[in-house]
């Protein structure tokens, strides 16, 4: 997909659907940022979604509420681990978008390992 669909432009959360090894879908509301026609999700390395993404990079996303209630159309994509400058840029964009909340979330989730960044290219 060339451009990020309009439905994501004002959204604070996306519902990130990942797949367990047995094919069961798991939906998780997460913060996100967009840059260069990709959607970025910043999380911690020892979370369920990261474990699932290591096994299967196929995802579906849609804008959602804080509690995960969908607010738009589901779109398929593929998630890729981002490192180096790309990861630093995504983290910086998240700080800009979410402000002090991002700092607090980072502090409260330190026990889940190092920060990891995934980019999502929409189909």
Residues 62-88: b if buried by 16+ CB within 10 A, e if exposed: bbbeeeeeeebeebebebeebeeebbe
pLDDT band (50, 70, 90) for residue 110: confident
Q: Tens digits of per-residue pLDDT, 33-88?
A: 999 999 999 999 999 999 999 999 999 999 999 999 999 999 999 999 999 999 99
pLDDT band (50, 70, 90) for residue 96: very high
pLDDT of residue 1: 65
Q: How far apart are CA 94 and CA 13, in angstroms?
A: 12
Whether domain 6-122 has CATH 2.30.110.10: the reply is: yes
pLDDT of residue 54: 96
Q: Which of 24-38, 78-92, 93-107 has the lowest mean pLDDT?
A: 93-107
Q: Please state the pTM of the whole predicted model.
A: 0.93
């Amino acid at each position: 997909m060339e451009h990020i669909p309009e439905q994501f432009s004002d959204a604070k959360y996306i519902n990130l659907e990942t797949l367990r090894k047995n094919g069961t879908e798991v939906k998780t509301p997460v913060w996100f940022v967009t840059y260069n026609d990709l959607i970025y999700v910043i999380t911690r390395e020892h979370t369920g979604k990261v474990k699932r993404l290591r096994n299967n990079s196929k995802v579906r996303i849609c804008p959602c509420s804080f509690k995960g209630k969908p607010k738009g159309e589901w779109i398929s994509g593929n998630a890729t681990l981002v490192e180096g400058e790309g990861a630093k840029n995504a983290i910086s964009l998240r700080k800009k978008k979410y402000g002090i909340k991002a700092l607090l979330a980072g502090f409260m989730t330190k026990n889940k390992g190092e920060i990891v960044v995934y980019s999502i290219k929409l189909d």
